[in-house]
């Protein structure tokens, strides 16, 4: 870490190699396609390397980077949220992996959620994080994460016309 903070390209390359896969998985969980996830990971690593001097070491580098990836993805989602209304044809073609969200209607409906609610759903249901872990990854109180998840599930129930979304 110290070498990477001083600008060592070898140390930074080692950090990248060690953590890029987890960073990409986190970004892909939040984003709707591979290309956008790759952009998020690239931006997140750039931010992390620029901010190495501020890294206090209270958490592992991977945990810190995961938070940067999550925030970078949320920023990207917020910038484009107005581009993906529920009835948008592009939204219907969301490219989330089948093993993450198999149903096209569900993918489209989740994609149309407010980015903050969508992030909690993605992290809890497809990112395999607990509600506490998702709250930590998002940098929000657990109560806020719980509220966002409840509201997201209410929206999903309404748009999907079902009562058993949990």
Mean pLDDT by groups of 10 residues along the chain of 166 residues: 88 94 92 90 95 86 92 87 47 44 72 89 87 90 95 89 69
pLDDT score at 150: 94
pLDDT score at 165: 57
> Of 83, 103, 136, which one is at a domain's C-terminal end?
83
**Structural domain range at position 121:** 90-166
pLDDT score at 81: 62
pLDDT score at 166: 60
Q: Which two tokens stand for residue 140?
A: 């929000």
pLDDT score at 100: 45
Q: Are residues 77 and 12 in the same domain?
A: yes
pLDDT score at 164: 64
pLDDT score at 39: 95
Q: Which two tokens stand for residue 117?
A: 């609610």
Q: Are residues 71 and 127 in the same domain?
A: no
pLDDT score at 86: 45
Q: Are residues 132 and 163 in the same domain?
A: yes
Number of domains in the chain: 2
pLDDT score at 93: 41
> 8: alpha, beta or left, given left = phi > 0 and alpha = psi -120 to 50?
beta
CA distance linking residue 110 with residue 12, whole number of Å: 35
């Amino acid at each position: 870490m110290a070498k990477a903070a001083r600008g060592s390209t070898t140390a930074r390359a080692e950090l990248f190699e060690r953590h890029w896969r987890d960073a990409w998985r986190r970004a892909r969980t939040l984003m709707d396609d591979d290309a956008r996830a790759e952009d998020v990971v690239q931006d997140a690593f750039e931010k992390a390397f620029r901010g190495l001097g501020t890294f206090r070491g209270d958490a592992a580098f991977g945990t810190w980077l995961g938070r940067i990836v999550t925030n970078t993805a949320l920023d990207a989602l917020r910038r484009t949220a107005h581009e993906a209304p529920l009835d948008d044809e592009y939204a219907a073609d969301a490219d989330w992996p089948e093993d993450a969200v198999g149903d096209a209607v569900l993918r489209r409906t989740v994609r149309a959620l407010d980015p903050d609610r969508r992030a909690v759903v993605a992290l809890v249901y497809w990112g395999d994080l607990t509600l506490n872990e998702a709250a930590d990854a998002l940098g929000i109180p657990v109560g806020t994460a719980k509220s966002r998840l409840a509201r997201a599930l209410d929206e999903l129930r309404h748009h999907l016309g079902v009562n058993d979304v949990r």
